Structure 1
C-alpha cells in the first residue's frame, strides 16, 4: 500500500521532513502546515518552491489538509462571514492542489452536537433538533466547487466535529448525494472518542466505495474524564485492530494512501522522536 506521513508531524521544515521520509521509505507526502503557513495561505512563489522540492525528491502529494469548516457551529449559515472565509480558503487550497497534482483536499465539519437522532422519547427530550440538517447546506457548496474544479474532497472523522465516525461520514455523503466528489478520510483513532470500533464496524461502513484516505495513530480515550492520551503505535486501544484493518484493505484492493499521523511524543514534546518510535510498527503492519 502507499505509505506516507503528515509532514508537519515531523517538522514544518519540508526539506527536513522529506529527508526523514526517505530514511524510512515513505513515499507520499500529506501537507498541512509548511513553514509558517497552513496550506491555502502560501504565496504562488512558495507553492512553486514546494512543488519543486517534492518533485525533485520524488514525493507525490497524497492530500492537502486544511481545517476547512472546523470551528463552525450550527448557528452559521451558508454565505455568512465565517462560511465565506472557509469557502475562500477552500478555493485557495484547491488551486494549490492543482499545482501540486494532489488528488485529495481535506475538509472538516462544524462542532459536534452530541445527540443528533433519537427514539422512544429521546427524539423529544435529548436530540439537538435540526443540527444535522443545518450542516448540509454548509458543506454542499464545497462539493459543488470540487466537482467544478475536478478534485475530490475527503471529510475527516474528527474528535469534536459533527462527522466523528464512519457512520456519520457515510451518512453525510449519502445525504448530499456526493459519492462522486466526497470520500471519507478515516481516522480510526479519532473515532475512538465516540466508541466506534475501527474493525470491523468502522471499516464496514466505508469499504464499498466511500473510503478515500486514512490517518493512522494510536490513542487511549477516557470519555467520562474528558481525557485523550496519544500512545506509541501498538500501545493504545487500537493495538489489536491495526492488523485486521490492514489485511482487509489489502484483500479489498484499497489503492489510496495511508498517512502516519505523528502526534505522539515520549513526554518531552519531541514529535520527531515520537515518530521514530512508531514508524517501524506502522511500516510492518501497513507496508
Structure 2
C-alpha cells in the first residue's frame, strides 16, 4: 500500500539527516611548507603570519654561494643572497659549482652590503697590493664576500697562497686581527655595526678599495657597485672610505607556486616598518635574476594601484 505523500517526505528527510551525520568530516586545508634560509627576523616574522604556510628553517643562512647552490638543489625554497653570487650562479660562472643554476628566480632587491678592508692597528699596509706575504682573512667559506676578496687580489696581481689567505667567519677574522694573527681582513656587511665596529674599536684601520682596477672588475662583475662609507661611521675613521658594495636580494626557486610568492611579497611590503629594507622601493624589482612570475605580478599590480 503506497504511503501518503507527507509521510514519504518525512522519511526522505530523515534518511538525508542520518546520511549527513555519517559523512566523514572535511579534511583540513593543506598547509604549504616553505623551506627558508634567512637571518632577517622581520622576514621570518612576516612570513609566519600567513596562516596556511608553514615556515621551516632547514639550513643556516649567510653564505651566498652555498645559498644559491642549496636553492638549485631544492634543499631550500626562499633565501637571501648577494646579487653577485646569484648572478654568477644563474649564468654558470661560479667556480665552486658547475652551472647554470636554472632554478633561481628573483623576488626583491633589499639593501646594499658594503665591503670593508680592515688592517691591523700596527701594520703599515695602505693598499691591497701591499698584502703580499701577509696573513689575510678572506671571508666565510661559501660566501660571496670571499669570492669578491679573491677577485680583488687577482686584479692586483696577488694569489690566495701569496697572501696566506684563510676563509673564516667575520667574527673570527676580527678577533684574530686584534691578536695580530691576521694582518688584514675582508668583511662584507651593512656599515655601522657588527664585526667591523668591534675591530675599529680595537684600533683596526679601514682602507679604500678604489682605483681604475675597480672599473675593470665591474666589466665582468656588473653587480659590484661603487659606494662610500661616510666619515665617522666607525671609531677613528676621520675620512670617508671609498669601496665597493653588492646588493642583498630575496630569491626563490622557480617551482614555488606563483600565488605563494605573490603573497610573501605582499605580506612583506604591506607590514614593513619604516627603516626596513628595501629603502628604495623603485629598485626592488631590479634583481640580477629573472623575476619569479609571482613577483612580476606583484610589482605590476602595485604599479597599477598607484
Give me the TM-score of the superposition, normalised by structure 1: 0.28
Larger Cα Rg: Structure 1 or Structure 2? 2
Larger helix fraction of residues: 1
Could you tell me the TM-score, scaled by structure 2's length?
0.27
